[in-house]
Amino acid sequence: MMRIPMSRFAERRKRFQRELDGGIAIVPGGKLRSRSNDVDYPFRQRSDLLYLTGFDQPDAIAVFTDDRFVLFVQARDPSAETWTGLRPGIEGAIEKFGADEAFPCSKFSEQLPELLSDRSRLYYKYGQDTGLDSVVSAALEVIRGQVRRGINGPEAIISPDRILHEMRLYKDPDELEVMRAAAAISNEAHRAAARICESGRYEYELEAALLFEFRRRGGSGPAYPSIVGSGENATILHYIENQSELRDGELVLIDAGVELDGYASDVTRTYPVGGRFEGIARDVYAVVIQAQEAAIASIRPGTTLPAIHDIALRCLVDGLVSLGALEGDVETLIKESAYRPFYMHSTGHFLGLDVHDVGHYSIAGQPQELRPGMAFTVEPGLYFSARDAETPASLQGIGVRIEDDVIITDSGYEVLTQAIPKKIDDLEAWMRG
């Protein structure tokens, strides 16, 4: 059941419509995608349409002017609904989802020229759907052919991203409640996986524990393919095969978060097989947790993601020297990017309806300042692959990443995923139950 009330979607639409300034916007939804033969992938609505409408059925297209919200949807069809489930239809689009008018999606090309008439600009993003691009282009040609009759069409075509993605960057109170609920589900899922992190188990068993909790607690499933990488697999950033057997002395990196009402949770913890950090793996983990704690402590309104990254990076490079992976002055090593074989990604990204959510990372060549309502991750890591000749033998096969979801508040920050332990003693106790 959608946790965000329809009144919130209506408020978002009004804000969006005010920005159109006499123009018209076309915001398409998603389509079913074939998995194989006559089997489709589970449907997931495009985030922009979901954000504005809450409508979660395929083949929908929303059209907005400053005073109208028109929704094109699949018409009711008892025969089709017997196979694939009930549809809101035209009536539901108006009564449940607040459309001023609704039409079958099959009527879109027919209705579009009239909707475009005498609109000064069109907000539409070409390149997402070539079929829809052709329909829009054809409608514009129809309008251009009516100039002598006094009918004018849009003189400018502009992507709506500038408006919509700026809106999506700042999470409203209802969004934050959903993201907190998603973090709570991810907490329980990580707990279930961590408690079977034992020698002789397989990565896919831990993945199955995650997926069970995601669905059991009301999520639609993972927000992205779950990463469960043990040993050398933990050094592959987007490892998703999840097939290997867990072995004593290894670490298991789990990067997994639920999707709830379209919103992503994105959390990573690194667990010792058998429940205890030992030897140099414990030392590597200590470096990464220190870097993450320092990065999070620096968060406040007005800071930037690059500034947070720089704080984490300095701690990581200092740690790489103490671990024997690098030699030399820390500042020089950073300047020369000597750390890149062991740390090759940034420390965070925006989070929301997409796991790598929308939003400008820089404005006029300067980093975007973080403001209250923005959500993002903080995820330093170190990766020592046996495939890399630069990796010291004592460190090979160790990968550690620690990732939390954070929102900026008026006075500082809130860590949404704080309940999932990460300090060594706390995490070991949590694994033991």
Q: How far apart are CA 356 and CA 338, in angstroms?
A: 27
State what percent of residues in the chain have pLDDT above 90. 94
Work out the angle at residue 341's Cα, subtended by the Cα atoms of residues 233 and 199, and round it to the nearest 5 degrees: 20
Strands 24-28 and 121-123: parallel
pLDDT in tens, 126-185: 999 999 999 999 999 988 877 667 677 788 999 999 999 999 999 999 999 999 999 999
pLDDT in tens, 258-270: 999 999 999 999 9
pLDDT in tens, 53-68: 999 999 999 999 999 9
Is residue 307 predicted with pLDDT exceeding 80?
yes
**pTM here?**
0.96
Average pLDDT of 391-409?
97
Is residue 423 predicted with pLDDT exceeding 70?
yes
Please report, for residues 74, 382, 386, the alpha-carbon distance to residue 201 in angstroms, rounded to integers and kept in the order given: 46, 24, 23
Please report, for residues 161, 256, 270, 276, 354, the alpha-carbon distance to residue 188 in angstroms, rounded to integers and kept in the order given: 35, 12, 15, 20, 21
pLDDT in tens, 320-350: 999 999 999 999 999 999 999 999 999 999 9
pLDDT in tens, 195-245: 999 999 999 999 999 999 999 999 999 999 999 999 999 999 999 999 999
Structure-token pair, residue 85: 């489930």
Is residue 1 predicted with pLDDT exceeding 80?
no
Which residues lie below 8 Å from residue 64, measured CB to CB, with a gap of 6+? 13, 16, 17, 20, 24, 25, 27, 52, 70
DSSP secondary structure letters along 197-248: --TT-BHHHHHHHHHHHHHHTT--EESSPPEEEEGGGGGSTT-----PBP-T
Q: How far apart are CA 203 and CA 200, in angstroms?
A: 10
Q: How many CB atoms lie within 10 A of CB 118?
A: 13
CATH superfamily of 170-432: Creatinase/methionine aminopeptidase superfamily (3.90.230.10)
CATH superfamily of 6-165: Creatinase/prolidase N-terminal domain (3.40.350.10)
Helix (H, G, I), strand (E, B) or coil at 34: strand
* DSSP alpha helix (H) spans, 23-129: 47-53, 78-84, 89-95, 108-116
The backbone region for 312, taken as left when phi is positive above 0, alpha when psi lies in -120 to 50, beta otherwise, is alpha
Domain boundaries, the chain: 6-165, 170-432
Question: CB-based burial of residue 369 (10 Å sphere; 0-12 exposed, 13-18 middle, 19+ buried)?
Answer: middle
> Which residue in the block uniquely carries the two structure tokens 């129809």?
142
Q: How far apart are CA 138 and CA 62, in angstroms?
A: 18
Share the mean pLDDT of the chain.
96
pLDDT in tens, 216-229: 999 999 999 999 99
Structure-token pair, residue 433: 């139950």
β-partners of residue 158 are 123
pLDDT at res. 176: 97
Helix (H, G, I), strand (E, B) or coil at 71: strand
Helix (H, G, I), strand (E, B) or coil at 283: helix
The residues that are catalytic are 38, 238, 255, 266, 345, 349, 356, 379, 383, 401, 403
Domain 6-165 matches domain 170-432 at the CATH topology level: no
Question: What is the Cα Rg of the chain in Å?
Answer: 25
In degrees rounded to 5, what are phi and psi of residue 419? -70, -15
Work out the angle at residue 261's Cα, subtended by the Cα atoms of residues 259 and 265, and round it to the nearest 5 degrees: 30
pLDDT at res. 150: 67
